[in-house]
């Protein structure tokens, strides 16, 4: 075996182990975010049933059943919301898996967070017929939301920052 061939095999092995590590990271973070979201939502709603109330200048806990998407849009079209969520989840998952080689760990983290939020809201829609929202902001007029919505929004913000910083670096 030539020196060049051995070096090529080492590089291929490093790339394969990197992809494997990224796939493991994707799975672990996705499963963690899904279970944390579901567990904390159930725990909080159980406590609210037992009388837990939180009202302060920043936020309050107020339970509502949301049959629509964000901001209650498509409220009368539950199957459309389910279909759109399923399509979004599949697109993000396929994109992430197909691009593991080039995605940073930060991007994989954001992707996992995004998919967990979409999945948890989709899960509630499929099995409950609605999404359980319970966080109300008191300092601004804003729809009531849940942990899944927070995950989706934080993930999108991270992705925007990553894209912006990547484009910014290209222009320097």
Q: Does 170 score more than 70 pLDDT?
A: no
- Tokens 């929202």 sit at which residue? 133
Q: Does 93 score more than 80 pLDDT?
A: yes
- What secondary structure does DSSP assign to 100-141, as a single string? TTT--HHHHHHHHHHHHHHHHHHHHHHHHSSEEEEEEESSS-
List, for residues 3-55, the tens digit of each pLDDT value: 655 555 554 555 566 899 999 999 999 999 999 999 999 999 999 999 999 99
List, for residues 101-160, the tens digit of each pLDDT value: 999 999 999 999 999 999 999 999 999 999 999 999 999 999 999 999 999 999 999 999
Q: Does 95 score more than 90 pLDDT?
A: yes
- What residues have CB less than 8 Å from 147, skipping those under 6 apart? 37, 40, 41, 117, 120, 135
pLDDT at residue 19, as a whole number:
92
Cα separation, 84 vs 61, whole angstroms: 28
End-to-end CA distance of the chain: give it in Å, rounded.
43
149 carries an active-site annotation:
yes
- What residues have CB less than 8 Å from 104, skipping those under 6 apart? 162
133 carries an active-site annotation:
yes
Task: Print burial letters for 52-82: b (CB count within 10 Å at least 16), e (below 16).
Answer: eeeeeeeeebeeeebbbbeeeeeeeebeebe
Catalytic residue, candidates 29, 89, 119, 133: 133
- Tokens 């967070």 sit at which residue? 113
Q: Does 68 score more than 90 pLDDT?
A: no
Per the structure, the complete domain to which residue 76 belongs is given by 3-170
- Provide the number of structural domains found in the chain: 1
Average pLDDT rounded to a whole number, residues 79-95:
96
Average pLDDT rounded to a whole number, residues 80-88:
96
Catalytic residue, candidates 34, 149, 151, 155: 149
* Residue 50 token pair: 């037992």
Cα separation, 94 vs 67, whole angstroms: 27
pLDDT at residue 7, as a whole number:
57
pLDDT at residue 126, as a whole number:
96
Average pLDDT rounded to a whole number, residues 71-99:
92
């Amino acid at each position: 075996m030539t020196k060049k061939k051995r070096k090529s095999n080492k590089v291929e092995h490093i790339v394969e182990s990197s992809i494997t590590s990224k796939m493991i990271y994707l799975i672990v973070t996705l499963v963690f975010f899904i279970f944390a979201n579901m567990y904390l939502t159930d725990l909080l709603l159980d406590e609210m049933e037992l009388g837990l109330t939180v009202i302060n200048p920043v936020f309050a806990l107020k339970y509502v059943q949301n049959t629509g998407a964000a901001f209650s849009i498509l409220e009368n079209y539950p199957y459309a919301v389910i279909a759109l969520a399923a399509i979004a989840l599949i697109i993000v998952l396929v994109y992430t898996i197909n691009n593991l080689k080039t995605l940073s760990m930060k991007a994989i983290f954001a992707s996992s967070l995004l998919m967990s939020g979409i999945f948890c809201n989709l899960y509630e829609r499929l099995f409950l017929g609605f999404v359980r929202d319970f966080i109300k902001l008191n300092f601004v007029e804003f729809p009531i939301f849940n942990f899944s919505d927070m995950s989706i929004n934080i993930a999108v913000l991270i992705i925007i920052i990553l894209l912006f910083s990547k484009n910014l670096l290209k222009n320097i």
